Structure 1
Amino acid sequence: MQHDVKEQAIALSAIFQAAELVATLARKGTLDETHAEPLLNSILVVNAERTEDIYGGQFDCQGNLALGRRIAKQVMGKEREAVNPDTIRYALSMIHLESKLQKDDAMLSAIGRQLGQVERQKEHFESVLHENMVAGISGMYQDTLSKMSFRIQVHGDSRHLQQPQIANQVRALLMSGVRAAMLWRQVGGRRWHLIFKRKAILQQLDARF
């Protein structure tokens, strides 16, 4: 199936948005819920007709992925040094972890089962940002991806990372980042594209989704 670079730009923006939110949480203990909500919601979107629907539709993608889009443009363009190195490391780690995940059928099945539980849980809460929902997604990450041989190491201020609520937010965002990395692969994205398709991806990041 043919996919266009626009879809890859959307997925890449989501990956970098998750990575940047994790980096900020780990350092400062603060979460921008406006940018976190579409990422966490995307985990529960299984059968979207279009790639942009995963993050709120074509129009909403303009705002929902604005942070990740800016970071991706900096990384792919000439401002890479302005980006937190941890953000880049987390993004690449999400892509690497997903590449391991796709080869593990048992782990994929386990995630599918856990996802069903989180979806049922959402019926009781108005927002995916509710602490119980975040804890549910965090638990899904703990029970599955955190048990794989490759793990994403998050570095920051231990005063923040040791707080259960922040730890749950970090794991939930990592889950959303791996979900975005899965989308990146599904729409034809490959790690080498970050080097050899920079110009084409940058054009899409500059254009309207």
Structure 2
Amino acid sequence: MIHTLQEQVIAFAGVCQSARLVQIISRGQSIDSDALNASLGSILQTDPPTTEAVFGGIEPLQLGLTVMRQQLGYRNEQRDGEITRYLVGLMALARRLMKRADMQSMLAERLQQVKRQLNHFQIADEQIQASLAAIYSDIISPLGNRIQVAGDTRLLQQPAVQNQVRATLLCGIRSAILWQQVGGKRLQLIFQRSKLLTQIDQCLLMH
């Protein structure tokens, strides 16, 4: 199946959005609830008709597209080293997960349980975030390559914040896997930068 550059940009913008949300949460900054809801919701889109349907369209990915543009831009001062570190970590964990069929089936089973919880709770409710965080701790963390989250230490000691960070990291894994599924490659990010930047701008204009 041939995948388009637009699909690859949408998927990678999802990874960028998660990385930025983790940064915002861990610093106690004000959060874009539409972006957070779209990212959390993407985890439970296990059989989407299109790539953009994973996030409920391009509109909820504005944050991720903007971050992706900064990270891939030609001006070094716009790049954020912390975001880069999260992106590298998320992609490495996604690759490890893709090699573990046992962990993938366990993940699918646990996500079905969370879907059932949505009969009683909204996607951004603490109970849902706690369930997604537990999936991250039980299935993703044992794969190794732990992502060290920077931010306000006192804030990061709070269980609700820890859950939100882990749930958001799980969103990033979801998007990183999607990116691989639609033909995204690491070398693309280096050698197809101008094409990607053009596509990002088109996506930003589409909303």
TM normalised by structure 1 equals 0.93
Name the SS of the counterpart of 2:99 in structure 1.
coil
For residue 89 of structure 1, report the CA deviation from its aligned partner.
0.9
For residue 31 of structure 1, report the CA deviation from its aligned partner.
3.1
Q: Which residue of 1 aligns with 2:62?
A: 66
Q: Which residue of 1 aligns with 2:178?
A: 183
CA contact (8 A) 1:98 1:182 kept: yes
Q: Which residue of 1 aligns with 2:136?
A: 141
Gaps of 5+ in 2: none
Whole-angstrom CA distance in 2 between matches of 1:152 and 1:4: 30
CA displacement, residues 39-97 of structure 1 (integer Å, 9 cap, x when unaligned): 0001111111111111113xxx1x30001101101111124422431111101211111
Whole-angstrom CA distance in 1 between matches of 2:75 and 2:33: 26
Q: Which residue of 1 aligns with 2:14?
A: 14
For residue 113 of structure 1, report the CA deviation from its aligned partner.
1.2
Q: For residue 55 of structure 2, what is the amino acid of its counterpart?
A: Y
CA contact (8 A) 2:71 2:80 kept: no
Name the SS of the counterpart of 1:39 in structure 2.
helix
For residue 159 of structure 1, report the CA deviation from its aligned partner.
0.6
Asked whether 1:98 is paired with 2:94, we answer: yes
Whole-angstrom CA distance in 1 between matches of 2:31 and 2:136: 19
2:77 paired residue among 81, 91, 95: 81
Going from structure 1 to structure 2, the CA distance change for 1:119 and 1:80 (only over 3 Å counts) comes to farther
Bigger shift: 141-150 or 183-192? 141-150
TM normalised by structure 2 equals 0.94
Whole-angstrom CA distance in 1 between matches of 2:63 and 2:119: 29
Asked whether 1:54 is paired with 2:54, we answer: yes
Asked whether 1:198 is paired with 2:175, we answer: no
Bigger shift: 30-39 or 182-191? 30-39
Going from structure 1 to structure 2, the CA distance change for 1:80 and 1:54 (only over 3 Å counts) comes to farther
Asked whether 1:40 is paired with 2:40, we answer: yes
CA contact (8 A) 1:77 1:202 kept: yes
Whole-angstrom CA distance in 2 between matches of 1:159 and 1:34: 26
CA contact (8 A) 1:29 1:166 kept: no
Corresponding residue pairs, total: 204
Q: For residue 98 of structure 1, what is the amino acid of its counterpart?
A: A
For residue 29 of structure 1, report the CA deviation from its aligned partner.
5.5
Identity %: 39
Going from structure 1 to structure 2, the CA distance change for 1:65 and 1:80 (only over 3 Å counts) comes to farther
Q: Which runs of 4+ in 1 moved over 4 A?
A: none
Whole-angstrom CA distance in 2 between matches of 1:124 and 1:80: 46
Whole-angstrom CA distance in 2 between matches of 1:79 and 1:13: 19
